[in-house]
Amino acid sequence: MNAAPLVALVGNPNAGKSALFNALTGARQKVGNYPGVTVERKAGRLTLDDGRPVELVDLPGAYSLEPSSPDERVTRDVVTGTQDGERLPDALVVVVDAANLDNHLRFTLQLIALGLPVVVALNMVDLAERDGLKLDAAVLSRELGVPVIPTVAFGKVDHVERYYDGQAKR
């Protein structure tokens, strides 16, 4: 029997990864430490509309694949498949803060360059719009070459679930 696909939520600190994780999983998470470091591992499951499970792992916030802290090292090692006890994710959801998009693009581009399937969750779009920012997810998607889905982690997250549900059926 095949294991459920593993999707890693990754992005800068305070981008809303954990809020999105909790919204997608209903806060059903397993917590443990990565071997050798005191960085918490948060994992949970969501079930797609057709009943198939997806395992989610909420990675520590990082600014780069060139780590400057134990948290960033764990994130790099997980997304590159070199973390002890963790399999290489089948896909990444890169969570970016829509109100601070410029600060998130460098890491996003590094993650896209890894060659794993990537979806960018353009999070906190409600706050960006409140601040007068005009964001076009379709244009950003074209520029990055990956799907970009506007999200509000404390509200509608079904766009991310629907995207993965559609991709899994292909």
Q: Which has more confidence, 26 or 114?
A: 114
33 against 79, higher pLDDT: 79
In this predicted model, which residue has the larger pLDDT, 9 or 15?
9
pLDDT given for residue 12 in this prediction: 93
In the predicted structure, residue 92 carries a pLDDT above the cut 70: yes
Residues in the chain: 170
pLDDT of residue 54: 93
Q: What mean pLDDT do residues 17-41 have?
A: 67
Q: What is the CA radius of gyration of the chain?
A: 15
What number is the average pLDDT over the span 10-33? 77
Structure confidence at residue 29 (pLDDT): 52
What pLDDT, on a 0 to 100 scale, did the predictor assign at position 156?
44
Residue ranges per structural domain of the chain: 6-168
Q: Does residue 96 have a pLDDT over 90?
A: yes
Residues contacting residue 107 through CB under 8 Å, at least 6 positions apart: 11, 12, 62, 63, 64, 65, 94
* Phi, psi (rounded to 5 degrees) for 37: -140, 160
Fold of 6-168: Rossmann fold (3.40.50)
